[in-house]
């Protein structure tokens, strides 16, 4: 089965083709960082307009790429949610229209399931059951993955997502959007130990997170010190350490609770090298193994949506009832991951 995947939930237009026999054939991404950078964050209306401009040329590109050589796909998977409504509508309407024109089935995919399955595009794919840490701009989730499609939420953030905390802290330090990579870069020059940030919600039981206090801590630290280059680097360093230590400690707790020897990390913050070092060390100490997507598939991309589409469509005797060949479609700004098993079958 050959699946065309379309991702447009936020500020990246991603299009890719996954083939069940040959693996990932081709993927393309149009990043909107330049559009949003001057506003310090994603402007939803501009994101939707950028998706409109990019999406058809990207689809043309992957279809005509020598790896696909103009072949019509067998199905189309598009991101149905969660995300920005206007942005989602672009990918969903293009995916649905192409499916209608080509007379092939289409299916709406949960963006976080896409992230969760992204490490399976690598040569050494993790086998369920495993624990998944999903850390993106909009979500921070600890998920018990007993099988593909069977997800139990163990913990989540009560306020800001990890990526959101990176973005907001970067902004208050005068660093550019997106904040995660910006903080990671300046933190390399930071002096360890000058500032010490709390590790929120680690000294009480449970697997939930809270990151908004760290952003406030960064703000008061910035206000109480002269904000020169070195101080910015020192705050970035202390903030990054606190976020990564907190995520690592909660992973340790969840691994102990589930007894799983495998950890899967995905989502934009999964590209953070300090986090990866800490999680590598943790898994070594537990005699377990950690799996990441390649760096470019940590952040939003079409490959993970094509792959998730394949996983949801495989084994169905007829593809036609997959999200139907019906013309109606909808997107979901909010969509809890653990409701998936029941409402997307």
* Residue 25 or 305 having the CB closest to ligand KG4: 305
With CA atoms as reference, report the closest residue to 150 among 128, 133, 118.
128
Site string for Zn ion, 129-168 (x = CB under 5 A): -------x--------------------------------
3-class secondary structure per residue, 248-305? HHHHHHHHHHHCCCEEEEECHHHHCHHHHHHHHHHHHHCCCEEECCCHHHCCCCCHHH
Question: Out of Zn ion, ligand KG4, none, which partner does residue 180 contact, by CB within 5 to 8 A per kind?
Answer: ligand KG4
Taking the complex as a whole, how short is the minimal distance between the CB of residue 137 and ligand KG4, in angstroms? 3
SS3 for 16-74 is EEEECCCEEEEEEEEECHHHHHCCCCCCHHHHHHHHHHHHHHHHHHHHHCCCCCCCCCC
List the interface residues with Zn ion, window 275-304 (CB under 5 A). Answer: 300
Q: How many residues bind Zn ion (CB under 5 A)?
A: 2
Q: Does 180 bind ligand KG4 (CB under 6 A)?
A: yes
- Rounded-to-integer distance, Cα 139 and Cα 188, Å: 25
Binding mask 159-178 for ligand KG4 (x = CB under 6 A): ----xx-xx----------x
Q: Could you count the other beta carbons within 10 Å of the beta carbon of residue 88?
A: 27
Minimum CB distance to ligand KG4, residue 239 (Å): 10
x/- contact string, 112-151, with ligand KG4 (CB under 6 A)?
------------------------xxx-------------
- How many residues interact with ligand KG4 (rule CB under 6 A)? 20
Q: Cα separation of 132 and 118, whole Å?
A: 11
Q: What letter would DSSP give residue 127? A: P
Residue 181 makes contact with ligand KG4 by CB under 6 A: yes
Q: Which residues bind ligand KG4 (CB under 6 A)?
A: 10, 136-138, 163-164, 166-167, 178-181, 184, 267-269, 271-272, 299-300
Q: Which residues bind Zn ion (CB under 5 A)?
A: 136, 300
């Amino acid at each position: 089965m050959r699946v065309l995947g379309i991702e447009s939930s936020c500020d990246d237009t991603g299009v890719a083709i996954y083939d069940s026999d040959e693996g990932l054939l081709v993927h393309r991404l149009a990043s909107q960082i330049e559009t949003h950078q001057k506003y310090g964050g994603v402007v939803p209306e501009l994101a939707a307009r950028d998706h409109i401009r990019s999406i058809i040329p990207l689809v043309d590109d992957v279809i005509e790429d020598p790896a696909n050589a103009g072949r019509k796909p067998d199905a189309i998977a598009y991101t149905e949610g969660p995300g920005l409504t206007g942005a989602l509508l672009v990918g969903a309407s293009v995916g649905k229209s192409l499916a209608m024109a080509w007379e092939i089935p289409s299916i709406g995919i949960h963006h976080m399931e896409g992230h969760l399955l992204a490490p399976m595009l690598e040569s050494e794919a993790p086998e369920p059951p495993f624990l998944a840490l999903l850390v993106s701009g909009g979500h921070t989730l600890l998920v018990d993955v007993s099988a593909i499609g069977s997800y139990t939420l163990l913990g989540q953030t009560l306020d800001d997502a990890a990526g959101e905390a990176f973005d907001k802290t970067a902004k208050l330090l005068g660093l550019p959007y997106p904040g995660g990579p910006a903080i990671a870069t300046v933190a390399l020059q930071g002096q360890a130990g000058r500032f010490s940030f709390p590790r929120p919600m680690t000294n009480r039981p449970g697997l939930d997170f809270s990151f908004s206090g760290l952003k406030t801590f960064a703000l008061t630290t910035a206000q109480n010190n002269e904000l020169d280059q070195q101080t910015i680097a020192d705050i970035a360093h202390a903030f990054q350490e606190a976020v990564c230590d907190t995520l690592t400690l909660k992973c340790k707790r969840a691994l102990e609770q589930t007894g799983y020897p495998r950890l899967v990390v995905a989502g934009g913050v999964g590209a953070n090298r300090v986090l990866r070092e800490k999680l590598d060390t943790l898994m070594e100490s537990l005699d377990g193994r950690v799996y990441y997507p390649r760096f470019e598939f940590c952040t939003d991309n079409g490959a993970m949506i094509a792959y998730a589409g394949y996983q949801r469509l495989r084994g169905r005797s007829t593809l036609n009832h997959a999200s139907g060949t019906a013309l109606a479609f909808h997107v979901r700004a909010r969509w809890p991951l653990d409701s998936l098993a029941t409402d997307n079958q």
